[in-house]
Structure 1
Amino acid sequence: MRLSNMADYAVLTMTAAARHCGGARVAAAQLADETGLPVPTVQKLVSRLTAAGLLRSSRGAGGGLKLARPAAAITLADIVEAVEGPIALAPCGDSASGDCAHEAGCVARPHWALVSTAVRGALADVPLTRLTEGAR
């Protein structure tokens, strides 16, 4: 099991943005420079992270990006879900899926939601502040 590159890059981008959390706004190009990611990738991530309410963007002089809420209130789960959608380790972990031919007799199905919840809980226990501490 692995996170996608985009989820990993979103964590890097948010960590870089959090280092600027003293109220200063930062440009996507600067975040790209600080993370070593291509500018188009960071721009795509910024769009998703803004739509998810994790970043706030403003245009014009003095514009740029900043965290939409304090870094301590943003978790790895928030970031991953902004890029990947809800955390579910198996398609049947979502009770509304119905896209598995073996669903009716599957003994594992009732347990996937529990496992997905545990993984999400582990990610939710890691605030963005913990990642910025390691980056200093």
Structure 2
Amino acid sequence: MLRLSKLTDYAVVLMAQLAREPGRLYASAELAEALGLPKPTVSKLLKMLVKADLLISRRGTQGGYQLARPANRIMASDLIAAIEGPVAMTECSLELHHCDLVGQCGVSDNWQRVTQAIQQLLASVSLAQLAQQQAIKLPWVQIQTLTLHEVG
């Protein structure tokens, strides 16, 4: 199963909270309390997001964290890369990476195409869209909504 880590999921939730009040500075402890996340986890994520130039950190009594740029210019791909690294379906899907089976496998070109499609989709979804309450509209993707009865 392909799945983002809990840390990445928490990072997106944290960034969505910041996106809802973009001019406001948030303290680490305040974010942890508001989101119900452990303080050490929030601190770790904030450091990673600052390092990735997605957040700005201001020190002092009036300090805190805020978005480094508008939420509509921070993309889902940026958030994932900040925590997980580059998105790729297989090792050979990353640029210039080849495995020992590249001559025999016959599927690496197609995995690269799938990886590119996923990267394009993630690069088309902004933090502003993720933070909103209504469903994201993706014109070139058909999404089937499942009910709990269908899943279980």
* Normalised TM-score (structure 2): 0.82
CA deviation profile, 1:25-82 (whole Å, cap 9, x unmatched): 0011111112211111111111111111100001002110000000111111110111
Q: What SS does the aligned partner of 1:26 have?
A: coil
Q: What SS does the aligned partner of 1:40 have?
A: helix
Task: State the match for 1:7 in structure 2.
Answer: 8
2: CA distance, partners of 1:33 / 1:118: 37
Structure 2, unpaired ranges of 5+? 135-152
- Decide whether the 8 Å contact of 1:28 with 1:39 is kept in 2: yes
Task: State the match for 2:20 in structure 1.
Answer: 19
Task: State the match for 1:43 in structure 2.
Answer: 43
Q: Percent identity?
A: 41
Which of structures 1 and 2 has the bigger CA Rg?
A: 2
CA deviation profile, 1:99-124 (whole Å, cap 9, x unmatched): x3322211111122211111111112
Aligned-pair RMSD on alpha carbons? 1.4
Task: State the match for 1:94 in structure 2.
Answer: 94
- Decide whether the 8 Å contact of 1:18 with 1:128 is kept in 2: yes
* Runs of 4+, deviation exceeding 4 Å: none
CA deviation profile, 1:5-37 (whole Å, cap 9, x unmatched): 11111111101111220x220011111112211
CA pair 83-111 structure 1, distance change in 2 beyond 3 A: same
The answer to whether residue 66 in structure 2 is matched with residue 59 in structure 1 is: no
Task: State the match for 1:134 in structure 2.
Answer: 133
Q: What SS does the aligned partner of 2:57 have?
A: strand
Number of positions where the alignment pairs a residue of Structure 1 with one of Structure 2: 133
- Decide whether the 8 Å contact of 1:20 with 1:26 is kept in 2: no
Please state which structure has a larger fraction of its residues in helix.
1
**Equivalent AA in structure 2 for residue 19 of structure 1:** R
2: CA distance, partners of 1:108 / 1:35: 42
- Decide whether the 8 Å contact of 1:75 with 1:123 is kept in 2: yes
Structure 1, unpaired ranges of 5+? none
